[in-house]
Chains A and B, each alone.
Chain A
Amino acid sequence: MTPEEAKAFVLQEAKKRGIKAELLFQEQRERSYRAFQGRLEEAKEARQRGLGLRVEVEGKVGYAYTEELSPEALAWALEEAQENALLSGKEGFLPPGAPLGRHDLLGEGLSAPPEAKREAALALEAALREDPRVRVAQGGYQEVEAQVALASTEGAEGAYRFGVAVLLASVVMAEGASVKQAWEAEFSREFHALEPGRTALDLRQKTARLLGARPLKTGRYRAYLEPEAFISLLMVLAPMFSAKEVLDGKSPLMGRLGQRIASPLVNLVDDPTLEKGLMSRPFDAEGTPSRRTPLVEEGVLVRYLHNSETARRLGQENTGHAFRTYKGSLGVLPTNLYLAPGSGVSPRTGVLVTEFMGVHAGANPVTGEFSLQALGLLLEDGEAHPVENFAVSGNLLELLERIEGVGQDLTWRLVGPFALGSPTVEVAELSFAGA
């Protein structure tokens, strides 16, 4: 069956069974090239599509999905979704729907010929090897183009297309006995905005400055978190703003609306309407139109992120942050979440943290506590010495309160299904464990 036929089939079957149904259809095309030692090492071409179902039966909700679009598979999915809904112990509903239009956010962004993209991967890898200290280099190019369509028995009907191009670089650099490995990813909605030479230079410089690192003495130091390091922390902070986590008792921001939770220098915004945003979209996974959503204003928590269900349960306004892939159930996620740039920082004495590692294991989004392996530079009166083999620990919410400077160098990263942005951040003092 074609996706259109599958959609019509499911909507008709649902009506026959007397149940409400919402269909999320996603189709994705991916292309990637990876270069190693001056040659193309891997090329990948992919197409994947799937249909996610959410049904409402007797005031309860159930889910199922299928990648096979045969009548048997579609009927199986509908049956499973209905059974899952009936077993549910929770009230649920499908929101009323409206026509949402068809949108193209990608345009000509990825229209360059495949050869140009292959060359970008090769050029990136070659540029990485220009430094003799580089032992292993890998350069890659990847692009994803996706089509999302939403339809429901409640009248929702809309679609949009978006895409992103990425340069991926990794190096192992060595000097004497010191070896460092690092990665870099440069994202854009336009292939032509990517610059392999600049990405390579950035990664080489970023890695080389850590060579010859020495152990750091255990103690408390003023910390300067580079954008990439603070983005790692934002990954852990992001779910705390989800009303779903708040309702599940899993967010330390529960009950703190209207309170100061961070230094007055902190302004956190999620904006799905950013013109060049990597994860911009016209509407969310259940058809709520997107709009700019401030979360923290001058340190004060002003709202949580919502979908229709969490908004109804908390009696707050739906911000349009429903997230779902065709395989998943309804959740809440940011789109383009960023720490707004401030007036600048000038690192003096302390530790410049360039990277945190193992964030998924070393930071707890329920409590905010973290203890993370880090890399960086010890700054002593303007002089910088690379340091390694240490961990930084504390509580993320305390860290937010101790922010004493926010830079102007806003940098973006795509982290799974959402984009995060941050400038350099200065923190009064943090606990460092090392030698």
Chain B
Amino acid sequence: MLQEALVEGVLRRALQGGADFAELYVERSRRRRMTVRNGRLEEATSGLEYGAGIRLFFGVEVVYAYTNDLSPQSLLEALETLLRARGEAGRVDERGAGGLDFRKEAPRGLHAPRIPLGAKDKRYRLERLLEAEAAARLAPEIRQVEASLQEWEQEVLVANTEGVWREDLRVRTRLFVLAVAQDEKGVQTGYAAPGLSLGLELFDLYPPKTVGEKAARQALTNLRAKPAPAGTMPVVVGNAFGGVIFHEALGHLLETTSVAKKASVLADKLGEEVASPVVTYIDDGTLPHAFGSSEMDDEGMPTERTVLIEKGVLKSYMVDRLGSLLTGYRRTGSGRRQDYTFAPTSRMRNTFIAPGTTPVEKLIEGVEYGLYAKELGGGQVKPGSGEYNFAVQEGYIIRKGRLEEAVRGAMLVGKGPETIRKVVAVADDLKTAPGMCGSLSGMVPVEVGQPHVLVSELVVGGKA
């Protein structure tokens, strides 16, 4: 995407200016979004994003610049602005005198799509969206349906003063269906949103009709649901997107971004038992075609499978370059960023609880009175205190070991390190699901996952 001589020139100038390390990140992305509503294309947008980020380390001080004018003049000017910000302008260190010997590595195509962004015309996409939209109109109570398709093709180059020159091509596709159901008592919503690191073959893996029906059924379930009860009770959390609870309550606490500053309650706890012994927690950036997978992270390091917690014992954090510099922990290929406008930080990729041995039915049978949180919505956490919350998108009451009436509007709240100790059983039905995770370095695609999990007690926020 950029001439080698220009990349080398920028990086060498950074060393001359006194930087201990310099990195150039270049990105060209094409995005397309189509939205269907009321049986017709409501809106379509296409975009081309193109820019570069320059990151310099002076010890553990980081300076970052980005621009989307990629002319040599503009890139060197951005660099000089950075050096000026530190009072290093005009300095010429001999470290930058020698040439850089790049070890060039091209993408291996591990997550390459069979049907790329350029294939098939827009009408083909529109027809699939119309199928999903029509399928969601299951009942007269379904008043509104919105189906949209997001396609993202991201070409990335990372080059640094250690001789790294690595490129990656990431293609991601996601289908969203939102259904709104209404009766005389009120309005409820349901949604389904499969997404993977691949192209339009997503439609073969998740037929639009099935996705549309799933969203509609959830909206209808919520329509007949009663308000959730309030109080502390045992909760069985569903598999797949249910894993968002531990993404929030545990995953964010294991990123060096907060660990290095001791701004996480789980800092300095390697080797200690931090979770119930039934919990093994893994972050895997290599899962083929998973939404959070890529061949390399955004610092040019190959991704890997990182076991974070094994049988309750903390084994590793998620570590980026700066985090490694600050803590001494080994880098785990976890440096990620939304795009060139962000410097990378340590982030999750595809994070899940490993399967246990208990059949799902047994989990529910053991509960006298509690909540089955089948599908979860989004949530939030404060890593410094571990306090988290997340919304239950589809929930049911468990009474005497049996699933009974649907309830809506429940919010689960707690403190991560406490909750993870209260996991008393893990089922054998691991599944993962895609999502977008927001943090210091922007919104990045991830997967969350788990088998069904029984938590002995959680605060359920419903109607008191």
Contact = CB atoms under 8 A, between A and B. Distances in A.
Most chain B CB inside 10 Å of its own CB: which residue of A77, A220, A364: A364
Contacts of A402: none
Interface stretch (A186-194, A278-286, A294-302, A390-398): A390-398
Given A63-B46, A367-B188, A389-B415, A218 B389 contact: no
A41 interface: yes
Contacts, number: 238
A120 B69 CA distance: 30
Contact of B180 (A41, A77, A250, A362): A250
Interface residues of B, number: 79
B41 A249 contact: no
B73 interface: no
**Chain A contact residues: helix, strand, loop or mixed:** strand
A267 B377 CA distance: 32
Interface in A199-237: 218-220
A172 B263 contact: yes
Interface in B305-362: 341, 343
Nearest to B77: A47
Contact of B63 (A39, A44, A87, A435): A44
A362 B379 CA distance: 8
Most chain A CB inside 10 Å of its own CB: which residue of B123, B391, B462: B391
Contact of A48 (B51, B60, B261, B380): B51
A318 interface: no
Contact of B230 (A39, A40, A41, A218): A218
Contact of A371 (B28, B40, B47, B410): B410
B390 A358 contact: yes
A373 B46 contact: no
Contacts of A118: 85
Given A36-B261, A44-B64, A48-B68, A373 B387 contact: yes
A56 interface: no
A76 to B, nearest CB: 7
Given A49-B69, A136-B261, A433-B460, A40 B46 contact: no
Interface of B: 28, 37, 39-51, 60-69, 78, 81-82, 84-86, 122-123, 126, 143-144, 146, 180, 186-189, 228, 230-232, 261-263, 265, 341, 343, 377-380, 382-391, 408-411, 413-415, 459-464
13 contacts: A42-B61, A43-B86, A48-B66, A90-B43, A135-B262, A180-B385, A357-B380, A357-B382, A357-B387, A373-B380, A389-B413, A389-B414, A393-B230
Interface of A: 36, 39-50, 62-68, 73, 76-77, 80-81, 83-84, 87-90, 114, 118, 135-136, 138, 172, 179-181, 218-220, 248-250, 252, 327-329, 357-358, 360-362, 364, 366-367, 369, 371-373, 388-393, 431-435
Given A62-B44, A77-B47, A87-B122, 11 more contacts: A46-B341, A47-B66, A80-B46, A87-B44, A88-B41, A89-B40, A180-B384, A366-B187, A371-B462, A373-B389, A431-B464
